[in-house]
Structure 1
Amino acid sequence: MTTYPPPQQTFSHSTPVRLWEDGFALDPYRYYAALRAQGPVGWAELSPGVPAYVVTDRRAALDLLNDTDAFSHDPRPWESTVADDSPVLGMMRWRPNSLFADGAAHLRYRGALIDTFEQVEPHDLRARVHRAVRLLVSRIGPRGEADLVGEFARPLMALVFNSLFGLPDSRSDGLDSALGKMMEGGAEAARGEVEFSRYVLGLIAAKTERRGDDLPSRLLDHPAGLTPEEVAWQVFLTLGAGHEPTANLVSNALSRILGNPLYYSTLTSGARTVTDAVVEVLHHETPLANYGIHYARRPVTLDGVWIRAAVPVVISYGALAHSAEQEVTSGRHPKDASHLSWSAGPHACPVKQHTLLIATEAIEQLTQWLPDLEPVVPRERLSWRPGPFHRSLTSLPVRFSPRSPDQPGAPS
């Protein structure tokens, strides 16, 4: 494993900012401040001994996201420098899908995914979300208390994806568990990757043998002519990029809503929309905090910082959001306060409308079923899962009046 010295620029800190520490989950803004103190591109560790450049400036991020000549998404040159058991490989290892591809291969994979998701009509996706919420409310409603992370947001996404993939609800728990282990990047990451791979490969094997009215079958039949192996890797990406970030978007939005009674009352009264709350999270507490990973094809400068080839260059969407929030709070108005949670450039999220629909419908339905949700723990005392990539609550305990979906007055 290769150890790199810090970038060739005078920084405020000579040692890398360690995003793998437990302290990062407790107070990421302190770590973002340390990165920003180094300049537009900071120096960090994603896990012990795995360094990376971290972009914390919006202009530098946009330059990076749109520069396909100097930067690549292919991590294989970097992988040869990393130990085989590195906990971040689950999120960064090369796979033949649109996220890790450039040029023609990227266009082929991305086009197939976009075409496939365009066949998912909004009313159909909305119905799948409503069904999942009803099922989850039937489990937690009669108790009068629940954890909205472990018992709602995360299983919700597993149920929705299982439905889109033509699988039974019983397969959702294994999917949820595997993805959680991978995203945290800790000791369980390798096991999560194995479990996740088993889920995806089993799914594609079943759909190769017998098609259905589902996303994998449509990918298998797409004119791009993807092989079953290529379809498996597009599904791998779809789940990895869709399940965890969307579940965290839902739970982060719920925590902000419920943590402010006045805010919650404006939503339940209809004065504000759930979409407002979801967009607020994307601006200020984005669920995929550090990702959009690129690699310089050759040594190059980015906003005055010398970037070595084959070293990860990570975009800190969380630091960008926090910086913009600080400017607004202090009375300054950034030239462009729009968030970059969907990324930008050729690799911008191709299904953001589907994600927004899932998140907003899930929250709207939950608050209709259980209108008197009350947090058990103050928001400032909630705990967050460790890991360099995400902003994810460990739990969101709430109480409410017991409710069954069979009671009169149920949401339509």
Structure 2
Amino acid sequence: MTAQQSFTVSGPVRLWEDGFARNPHGYYAALRAQGPVGWAELAPGTPAYVVTERRAALDVLRDVETFSHDPRGWEATVPEDSPLLGMMRWRPNALFSDADAHLRYRTTLIDVFDLIEPHDLRQLVHRAVRLLVDRFGPKGEADLVTDFTRPLMALVFNNLFGLPDSQGDRLNEGLLKMMEGGAQAAAGEADFVEYVLRLIAAKVEERGEDLPSMLLDHPAQLTPEEVTWQVFLTLGAGYEPTTNLVSNALSRILGNPLYYSTLTSGARPVMDAVIEVLHHETPLANYGIYYARRPVSFHGAWIRPAIPVVVSFGAVGLFAEREDTGGRRAADASHLSWGAGPHACPVRHHALLIATEAIEQLTLWLPDLDPVLPRERLSWRPGPFHRSLTSLPVRFSPRSPDQPGETS
């Protein structure tokens, strides 16, 4: 079955099975055949409504009177060992709150991220790229997922959150397990929670020039517990999706030699590849999760409370109509990967800066990257929430650490 084939199913479309990772477009087509709102399972026996049409998605994202982000009604209906709880369990943070609580948490996040100067963030990415290229450059080969994108984000986000470079592996492993929503999800959640708890305990004792310290000192006076869950949200939501955004974009770039040549020559901006990924392989494919406050008829479906309503950014981007005269701005807006309404991503510009700078710097240092496998043979991690490569092997001309660079 190719990545573009569709198929028919009886019963809910099972987003938890391995076939979804291999052929998401086919699964989205099966959902779309049911109408704007399809019927799916996020895990065995755990149903969800999945919104695949842009107008219906916007209605969910913007209608705070009908839909809530609070999952506690649903949470009471699933077993405590559900593999979904790591990603969907209620916590006192901006993602799982509504109204005044949401505004309070969201405002603190916007305020502290606004203190990060773009120049400083750009230099942080440049340092991380240089460090990693120095590690694998002499070999003339690398896996751009395990050797580059994942350790790159660990270096960048540990720096932003006040942790040493050496802590990257622990961050990486916990998030990997939790995001996949499989048998190891609970262990991954526990590891990541412990990681964040230790971080906040350290910052309570001694502040630094980092995001957790800024949150602790914010005029909103968040408690250490509230800061813990804001960091749990922002560290996870920053690290994992941005990792996948970079690796997905690199795979599309390297899989098309003509495309790659226009990027490395400067004739085409890296942002074009990033926007293409947000349409066709968005990193958080199915994580716009809401709950109806009461039974409601919605775009041809009868929505019951305590069953997740999932805005499928993956399906919406795939099926979104392109405006003939809108250019890049219209294309960028139509995928909805950043959300919309009160819960739209508040730090999208930071994520875009990290992603584009990482790709630009890598291709400057290593301009002759050559994929080992054709794109159709790359493998993808399982799980209902994300679109994430397991590996991206490449070859290139070896580069010694002391070799003069094309960038600074």
TM-score (norm 2): 0.95
1:314-393 matches, cutoff 5 A: 314-324=310-320, 338-393=334-389
5+ residue gaps, structure 1: 1-11, 329-333
Aligned residues: 396
SS in 1 for 2:287: strand
1:28-47 matches, cutoff 5 A: 28-47=24-43
Checking the alignment, whether the CA contact within 8 Å between 2:153 and 2:242 is kept in structure 1 is yes
Give the counterpart letter for 1:254 in structure 2.
Answer: L
Checking the alignment, whether the CA contact within 8 Å between 1:284 and 1:325 is kept in structure 2 is no
1:33-182 matches, cutoff 5 A: 33-182=29-178
Q: Which residue of 2 aligns with 1:194?
A: 190
Q: Write the deviation string for residues 88-119 of structure 1: whole angstroms up to 9, x where unpaired.
A: 11110000000000010000000000000000
Q: Structure 1 residues 356, 335: CA separation in 2 closer, same or farther (over 3 Å shift)?
A: closer
Q: Which residue of 2 aligns with 1:9?
A: none
Give the Å deviation of 1:405: 3.4
1:274-293 matches, cutoff 5 A: 274-293=270-289
1:19-34 matches, cutoff 5 A: 19-34=15-30
Q: Write the deviation string for residues 349-401 of structure 1: whole angstroms up to 9, x where unpaired.
A: 00000000000000001001111100000001101100000011110000001
SS in 2 for 1:405: coil
Checking the alignment, whether the CA contact within 8 Å between 2:323 and 2:331 is kept in structure 1 is no
SS in 1 for 2:40: strand
Give the Å deviation of 1:151: 1.1
Q: Percent identity?
A: 77
Give the Å deviation of 1:166: 1.6
Give the counterpart letter for 1:54 in structure 2.
Answer: V
Checking the alignment, whether the CA contact within 8 Å between 2:322 and 2:334 is kept in structure 1 is no
Q: Write the deviation string for residues 42-98 of structure 1: whole angstroms up to 9, x where unpaired.
A: 000000011000000111000010111111100001011101111111110000000
Checking the alignment, whether the CA contact within 8 Å between 1:13 and 1:38 is kept in structure 2 is no
1:170-319 matches, cutoff 5 A: 170-319=166-315
Checking the alignment, whether the CA contact within 8 Å between 2:176 and 2:188 is kept in structure 1 is yes
SS in 2 for 1:46: strand
Give the Å deviation of 1:276: 1.2
Checking the alignment, whether the CA contact within 8 Å between 2:322 and 2:331 is kept in structure 1 is no
Question: In structure 2, how many angstroms separate the alpha carbons of the residues matched to 1:168 and 1:410?
Answer: 28
Give the counterpart letter for 1:65 in structure 2.
Answer: L
SS in 1 for 2:334: coil
Q: Which residue of 1 aligns with 2:3?
A: none
Q: Structure 1 residues 13, 265: CA separation in 2 closer, same or farther (over 3 Å shift)?
A: closer
- Name the Cα RMSD after superposition: 1.6
Q: Which residue of 2 aligns with 1:6?
A: none
Checking the alignment, whether the CA contact within 8 Å between 2:54 and 2:320 is kept in structure 1 is no
Checking the alignment, whether the CA contact within 8 Å between 1:85 and 1:190 is kept in structure 2 is yes
Give the Å deviation of 1:14: 4.6
Q: Write the deviation string for residues 208-266 of structure 1: whole angstroms up to 9, x where unpaired.
A: 00001110000000000000110010000001211111000000000000000000000
Question: In structure 2, how many angstroms separate the alpha carbons of the residues matched to 1:163 and 1:303?
Answer: 45
Q: Structure 1 residues 263, 325: CA separation in 2 closer, same or farther (over 3 Å shift)?
A: farther
Checking the alignment, whether the CA contact within 8 Å between 1:137 and 1:404 is kept in structure 2 is no
SS in 2 for 1:146: strand
Question: In structure 2, how many angstroms separate the alpha carbons of the residues matched to 1:51 and 1:261?
Answer: 42
SS in 2 for 1:404: coil
Question: In structure 2, how many angstroms separate the alpha carbons of the residues matched to 1:302 and 1:147?
Answer: 45
SS in 2 for 1:341: coil
5+ residue gaps, structure 2: 1-7, 325-329
Question: In structure 1, how many angstroms separate the alpha carbons of the residues matched to 2:175 and 2:335?
Answer: 25
Checking the alignment, whether the CA contact within 8 Å between 1:289 and 1:389 is kept in structure 2 is yes
SS in 2 for 1:105: helix
Give the counterpart letter for 2:197 in structure 1.
Answer: L
Q: Structure 1 residues 130, 155: CA separation in 2 closer, same or farther (over 3 Å shift)?
A: same
Q: Which residue of 2 aligns with 1:400?
A: 396
Q: Structure 1 residues 247, 336: CA separation in 2 closer, same or farther (over 3 Å shift)?
A: closer
Question: In structure 2, how many angstroms separate the alpha carbons of the residues matched to 1:112 and 1:337?
Answer: 25
Give the counterpart letter for 1:347 in structure 2.
Answer: H
TM-score (norm 1): 0.94
Question: In structure 1, how many angstroms separate the alpha carbons of the residues matched to 2:331 and 2:125?
Answer: 37
